[in-house]
Structure formats: structure tokens, C-alpha cells
Amino acid sequence: MIIKSIELTNFRNHSDYNLECNDETTLIIGKNGYGKTSVLEAIYILTRGKSFRATDKEIIKRGTSFYRIKLDFIDGKTNVATYDNKTKTFIINEKKSKRLPVKNKYPVVLFLPSDLNLISSSPTRRRDYFDRIFSEFNEKYHQSLLKYNKALKQRNEILKKDNISKDMIFSWNLILAKYGVELYSYRSSYIDEINQSYSDLYYSITNHRDDIVINYKTDLAHTSTEEYLRNLEQNFTRDSYLGHTSFGVHRDDYIFMFNNKIADGSASRGESRSMILALKFIEASLIEQKLNLKPIILLDDVFSELDEMHRESLVKNFKDHQIIITSV
């Protein structure tokens, strides 16, 4: 699917903004604070269903009571989203819904400047990053993640109370065990797929034969729901003392390895950036393989963070996709 144009009304600092997009590459140039990232954010909302950086209340232009965004595609389809400080509504080809229907979602590869620091970032940041990638091409993963996080929140709220019993959290334990095992299975499988081509793609960028691997770090020693449930129950006393759930896939991490050493500290800045670039190429490839769709590529001011070699590699690998780039 190719974006033809985008219109923004009261979106961030844009009162009224229109952009005609090219089939291949569209470049948005402006100083910091101009609102370039907001354009990519609006595209992301109408292709994925939500913002990648804020809540709807934070998006409405100050002093106004609503925002509206509209995407026109070259095949004649139109996606619209509105928010009036209370309700968010998607209008897809004149049909209204509270959420973007799954059938109307379209995959996106989003590249933010902060992604270049992924290797040295926090476990939470890495989990969020890979959750976003896996959700792009697997809606079941996305739904399992939502259900797991909802149950985790409820369990943690109960754990903060006084004089609780195991029975009070048993139903939430069951849900965490069910979806925790599902998420573990998906994550371990997808990381294996990434590792199969990771070193080769890194070589295509750097022309250096280094061993690049992501180690999936998890609490789970077994993949059965019974074992997961047993661990939750065994940790009840500790969890009630801490006030949160100390076991589960919400504690997972992804450790980048460079020639059998942890990349954070052993890989140079250039090597780390090549690793992230290779990961982006794998992300696009996985989406295309699993969905038979070419994702839209959104590049937010990353060219200024990359040297000539990395910029050329980025353009070369994404040459068959629609690319929308922001730059100063």
C-alpha cells in the first residue's frame, strides 16, 4: 500500500498541514521543533492504530478541542482518525470504529534516532522495541501481549494491598501463565530467525566477518503453563512483600553479542550502528516474508546520525519500499 497524501488538523503544533507523498521517497525538511516527527506519528497512528510516543490527550494542539488526521492511498482507500478529548474514532472508507480494525492495519518499519542506542539502553526499552517489531507481523502476538500486560497490572495492584491471599490472585496467575508461555514461544522463535541472517546482513554493511547474535534472556526454564503457574505460586510471599510480580516474561531482555562478547562495551560506536541497521533490514524482511507486504519505511532524522556508508546502505536496502524521511 502506497500513501498518496496526509492531512493534519490540530495535530501537535500543526493547525492545518498537507503533504503530497511520492511513490518512492518523500523528504520532509525542517528545523527542530518544526513538527517533522509529528507527521510520521500521524502516519503511524493511521497504519498501526496508536502513537509510538504519546497519548491522544498529549497530541491535541494546545488551545483546541480535537485533532483530525487523514491518509489517502493511491488505491483510492482513505483512513481517518479523530479525537475530541474523550473519544478516538477511526473512519475507514466511511465506516466508524473505536479502534483501527486489524484488516486495515498496515506494517511499518519505524526508525528513530533513539533506536541507534538500543544496544546500550535499558531492558525495558529493548523489550518495547522487540514487542513493536513482533506485533508488526503477528497480530496474535500483539493480542497476547495486551492480555498479559492487563493481567500483570491487575495482579500487581492486588499485591500492593494488605492481608492478601493466594486465592485473590489465582485467576490472574492463570492468565499470566497462558499468555506468558505464548509470548515466550513467539519471542524465542523470532530471535532464532533474526540470528539466522544477522551476521550476514551485518557483513553486507561493513564487509567485516563478525559474529553477531542476540541472546534472548528470560526467567523461563520450561515452556509449560503448569511450570509457569508453579513459579508464580512459589513467589507469592516474595511478591506480596515487594508489591509486584517478580517472575515472568515481563522481565525478559535481549542481549546483543559481538564476537561472543556483550556488544555494550565491546563493539565500537560504528559497529553498534551497523548492528542496528542490519536489524532494521531483518525487520523489513520478516514483515515481507510473513505478510507478503512491503512495509512503509519511516525514517525520523536518522541520516544526520549516520555516516555516508550507513546512509548508502539504508537507501540501498529500502529502495523497493515507500520511504518517508525527516531531516534538518
- Of 71, 95, 99, nearest to 11 by C-alpha is 71
Contacting residues for 203 by C-beta, under 8 A, at least 6 apart = 209, 210
Do 122-290 and 3-106 have the same topology in CATH?
no
Q: 3-class SS at 2?
A: coil
Q: What is the pLDDT of residues 132-179, one digit of tens each?
A: 999 999 999 999 999 999 999 999 999 999 999 999 999 999 999 999
Architecture field, domain 122-290: Up-down Bundle (1.20)
- Helix 170-206 with 139-159: angle, nearest 10 deg: 130
Name residues of the chain where pLDDT drops below 70: none
Residue 221 confidence (pLDDT): 80
Residue 227 confidence (pLDDT): 94
80 forms bridges with which residues in the sheet? 70, 91
Note the CATH number of domain 3-106: 3.40.50.300
Cα–Cα dist 33/43, whole Å: 18
Q: What is the pLDDT of residues 293-328, one digit of tens each?
A: 999 999 998 888 888 888 888 888 898 999 999 987
Residue 94 confidence (pLDDT): 84
Domain ranges for the chain:
3-106, 122-290
Quick one: 92 exposed, middle or buried, by C-beta within 10 A (0-12, 13-18, 19+)?
middle
Residue 276 confidence (pLDDT): 95
Backbone angles phi, psi at 91, to 5 degrees: -120, 105
Residue 306 confidence (pLDDT): 86
70 forms bridges with which residues in the sheet? 7, 80
- Helix 123-137 with 170-206: angle, nearest 10 deg: 90
Beta strands in 12-63 (DSSP E): 14-20, 25-29
The CA–CA distances, whole Å, from 156 to 152, 169, 247, 287 equal 6, 9, 12, 34
The x, y and z cell numbers of residue 53, run together, are 510516543
User: If residue 78 lies in a helix (H) or strand (E), which one and from where to where?
Assistant: strand 78-83
How far from chain centre, in Å, is Cα 216? 17
Q: What is the CA radius of gyration of the chain?
A: 21
